Amino acid sequence: MNCTNEFDVIVIGGGHAGTEAALASARMGKKTLLLTHSLETLGQMSCNPSIGGIGKGHLVKEIDALGGAMACATDDAGIQFRILNRSKGHAVRATRAQADRVLYRQAIRGRLENQTSLFLFQQAVDDFVIEGGRVTGVVTQLGLRYSARAVVLTTGTFLNGLVHVGESSYQAGRAGDPPALKLAQRLRDLKMGVGRLKTGTPPRIDGRSVDYSQLKSQPGDNPEPVFSFMSGPGNHPRQVPCWISSTNERTHDIIRDGITRSPLYNGAITATGPRYCPSIEDKITRFANKTSHQIFLEPEGLTTNEVYPNGISTSLPYDVQIDLVRSIAGLENAVLTRPGYAIEYDYFDPQGLNASLETKLIRGLFFAGQVNGTTGYEEAAAQGLLAGVNAALLASERDAWSPQRSEAYIGVLVDDLITRGVTEPYRMFTSRAEYRLQLREDNADLRLTEIGRRLGLVDDARWKCFERKREAVAREQERLKTTWVNPKIQEEVMRVIGDPIEREYSLFDLLRRHTVRYLDLMTLPGAGAPIVDDAVIEQVEIQAKYFGYIERQRDEIARQEQAETMHLPADIDYSLLRGLSIEAQQKLNKLKPETLGQASRISGITPATISLLLVHLKRGFRGIRQRSA
């Protein structure tokens, strides 16, 4: 037996999901193989050259807290950094960066190549080896066989990808790459629930043909924000601005004239696209009274002239694309470098997955990223990391792990996918999180580093750094809670707080007030010496501000967590359960939720159904299990 063909974990695909999956599994000490059709495109950003944003930045910080690569790679490759919602509360602030595509690929590839226990190999995968309901390996295009205890599939839009530009269409994984047809057929044969989705990109422009004098510049923030808890602005390369222009009535006339030739409107595309990322033809049709739409011109990198015009994703014919771009201020003489296109692709119904991202149908087979119906690098990377962790845990015969909705956006993402499925490409928004006030970017490390350490994902350097911060925050909070301010110093209090106090208050109670700042508070006589670490001050301050709201949710979370620990056996036949509606029986039999908590979030499952399940759970589902235990 050739031992170089034996692995603990195999990851298929080298995009954002695949790379995080492979890195996570290898960090946990598992012998991991990453198979990709092209080593050159590892860590490729196929759509716009940016990382983060509202909801997505939260995911990146969580990936970072779990030792993932995306945040550090973005810090190494980012050429413009901004904090969105800076004027609003911390829970809804998010970091966003423009990344240099080349630097980003290099940053990712460097991490992959230097990761111990990780092997990279360039071969497309055509088939799985499945024995007794369990995946045991894969077969590549050349017929090479590799065995593993777990396989993570992260093939993005490559399964039966179909690219549309105007009236022409061709099969592709993304523009310029071949699709994975054999693997797609194989997966369809396995009776996984398959659907079709659609997404699109704008044409790209040669920056030398842009008249920047007509455009508004949008520089990054100063000081420069960072993504990783381990980075500083010193990690960033040279910074450049983005540019803002907008469409006008003439642009809209051009689009209206050409719209019958758009595959979105002539019936060639049937799959559902995302509502939040409509093509420009969709925007002017659905919001016909809007006379102008913003366009952001995003630089693709420091060593290329290519520019990404964010906001005009389109699949109109190429000649219409040229005209519409040239109707925009500053782009009158634009030279296009690539046409915009729409792509339709297969995805698998994520309701067929467990919270670990393992398929319910085949043991050891994990799905992550766009194959699960999501969109976005960050959503893909988050799932990749989770699937990689669980593949490694399975290979070590350890229990699976998945964060709760109250712990991480990763938990919200996975739970939404597996309990509700998707009807359009799924993107993270903070409005999806019921515990938004505690799932913040600023405390992603406090929420997840310790778990990451236990799983074997967090190295010593990060752990030490984290422990120092956590202890400093706790120590200062304790000090604030036990230091009292007496109304006798009312004048000083008025100066700092603006209101008199009628009794003794702790510094912590005063800091909870909306307008009170930590450093001002420290000027009160007897307040003691302020701490100097800005990150610690920030954390102490934010936690005090949200304290009341988060306390209020504590009972709710505790109750919810109790439901999450109540496991529903996978072999229950719900149609034998007395008192359940037909709808509930069918849904529960289809989804086979792993816990009572998951069941409660399936649409159409009522609290009464949950009470019923609780009663049956208590009596061990006697008489209604498919096999006797």
Partner 1 sequence: MASADIIVAVATPPGRGGIGVVRISGLNLQSVFSEIYCGVVPPRYATLRNFVDCNGEALDRGIVLFFPAPYSYTGEDIIELQGHGGPAVLRSLVEECLRRGARVAQPGEFTKRAFLNDKIDLAQAEAVADLIDATTTKAVRCAQRTLRGEFSLAINVLVEELVQQRATIETILNFPEEDIEAQGDDGQYQAISSIEGRLEAVLRASQQGSLLREGAKVVLIGQPNVGKSSLMNRLAGDNVAIVTEIPGTTRDPIRLLLELEGVPIYVVDTAGLRTAQDAIEREGITRAWEEAEDADIAIIVMDCAQLGSEHQYLEEIVRRLPNTLPKLFVYNKVDLVGKAAVIDEEAPPTKIWLSAKTGAGVTLLKTALLEILGWNNVGEGAFMARARHLDAIRHAKNYLLSARENQGRLELVAEDLRRAHESLCNITGEHTADDLLGEIFSRFCIGK
Binding site for partner 1 (CB under 8 A): 53-55, 84-85, 88-89, 91-92, 275-278, 282-283, 286-287, 290, 293-294, 296, 310-311, 313, 416, 420, 423, 429-432, 434, 436-437, 514, 549, 555, 558-559, 562, 578-581, 603, 606-609, 611-612, 614-616, 618-619
Of 91 and 395, which CB lies nearer to partner 1 in the complex structure? Answer: 91
CB of 520 to partner 1, least distance (A): 19
Of 135 and 277, which CB lies nearer to partner 1 in the complex structure? Answer: 277
For residue 146, what is the enclosing H or E element? strand 145-147
Of 16 and 56, which CB lies nearer to partner 1 in the complex structure? Answer: 56
Of 494 and 576, which CB lies nearer to partner 1 in the complex structure? Answer: 576
Of 76 and 282, which CB lies nearer to partner 1 in the complex structure? Answer: 282
Of 337 and 581, which CB lies nearer to partner 1 in the complex structure? Answer: 581
CB of 89 to partner 1, least distance (A): 4
CB of 547 to partner 1, least distance (A): 12
CB of 289 to partner 1, least distance (A): 10
**Are the CB atoms for 469 and 442 separated by under 8 Å?**
no
% helix, strand, coil for the chain, step of 5: 40, 20, 40
Of 214 and 423, which CB lies nearer to partner 1 in the complex structure? Answer: 423
Beta strand pairing call for 118-122 and 162-165: unpaired
CB of 208 to partner 1, least distance (A): 24
Side chain identity at residue 440, one-letter code: R
Contacts of 476 (CB under 8 A, 6+ apart): 531, 536, 540
CB of 32 to partner 1, least distance (A): 35
For residue 566 the two structure tokens come to: 């109540």
CB of 78 to partner 1, least distance (A): 17
**Are the CB atoms for 307 and 141 separated by under 8 Å?**
no
CB of 431 to partner 1, least distance (A): 4
CB of 621 to partner 1, least distance (A): 11
Distance separating alpha carbons of residues 47 and 206, to the nearest angstrom? 16
Three-state SS annotation for 154-216: CCCCCECCEEEECCEEEECCECCECCEHHHHHHHHHCCCCEEEEEEEECCEEEHHHCCHHHCE
Strands (E), 511-581: none
C-beta atoms surrounding 290 within 10 Å: 11
For residue 170, what is the enclosing H or E element? strand 168-171
For residue 380, with 0-12 CB atoms within 10 Å meaning exposed, 13-18 middle and 19 or more buried, which class applies?
A: buried
Residue 246, helix vs strand vs coil: strand
**Are the CB atoms for 162 and 169 separated by under 8 Å?**
yes
CB of 296 to partner 1, least distance (A): 6
Distance separating alpha carbons of residues 483 and 167, to the nearest angstrom? 72
Q: Among all chains, which residue has been given the structure tokens 């559902």?
A: 272
Distance separating alpha carbons of residues 19 and 219, to the nearest angstrom? 31
Radius of gyration of the chain (CA): 26
CB of 545 to partner 1, least distance (A): 9
Of 71 and 557, which CB lies nearer to partner 1 in the complex structure? Answer: 557
Strands (E), 432-573: 484-485, 505-506
- Partners of residue 296 on adjacent β-strands: 244, 310
Of 170 and 276, which CB lies nearer to partner 1 in the complex structure? Answer: 276
Of 256 and 464, which CB lies nearer to partner 1 in the complex structure? Answer: 256
**Are the CB atoms for 483 and 507 separated by under 8 Å?**
yes
C-beta atoms surrounding 103 within 10 Å: 19
Contacts of 477 (CB under 8 A, 6+ apart): 508, 540, 543, 544
Of 90 and 447, which CB lies nearer to partner 1 in the complex structure? Answer: 90
